[in-house]
Amino acid sequence: GAGVSQSPSNKVTEKGKDVELRCDPISGHTALYWYRQSLGQGLEFLIYFQGNSAPDKSGLPSDRFSAERTGGSVSTLTIQRTQQEDSAVYLCASSLAGEAYEQYFGPGTRLTVT
């Protein structure tokens, strides 16, 4: 079956521009997470969606970052007025609800801000 997909796979943008990153989770997975990973760093949590509950935005680094999840499926992460420190790999993961279920990660979007 299909895994988690993300698009684009690579994005190069100029400082100050807005970008949108897309995540298509596994069908039936109600939990969706966004992380980012910088070179040599661990996964930094950004935002978490679970079903129809209000998202947990506690990991968003600034108000330039926002995300939405439409119809409990596809999610879009938007970064406004990008900065060079936003350069990283943005990973999306989905899982079934419940603490025992593992996360399935997408291939990531490599964002480079020039």
Partner 1 sequence: GQNIDQPTEMTATEGAIVQINCTYQTSGFNGLFWYQQHAGEAPTFLSYNVLDGLEEKGRFSSFLSRSKGYSYLLLKELQMKDSASYLCAVRGGSYIPTFGRGTSLIVHP
| 80 near partner 1, rule: CB under 8 A | no
Q: Which is nearer to partner 1, 5 or 73 (CB)?
A: 5
| 34 near partner 1, rule: CB under 8 A | no
DSSP 34-91: EEEE-TT--EEEEEEEETTSPPB-TT--STTEEEEESTTS-EEEEE-S--GGG-EEEE
Torsion of the alpha carbons at 104, 22, 54 and 31, rounded to the nearest 10? -10
The partner residues of 68 in beta bridges, in order of sequence, read 76
| 55 near partner 1, rule: CB under 8 A | no
> CB 81 → partner 1: shortest distance, Å?
26
List 43, 64, 73, 80, residue binding partner 1 (CB under 8 A):
43
> CB 90 → partner 1: shortest distance, Å?
11
Neighbours of 17 (CB within 10 A): 13
* Tokens 């060079």, located at residue: 84
List 56, 57, 72, 76, residue binding partner 1 (CB under 8 A):
56
Q: Which residues bind partner 1 (CB under 8 A)?
A: 4, 31, 33, 35, 40-43, 45, 48, 50, 56, 59, 91, 99-100, 102-108
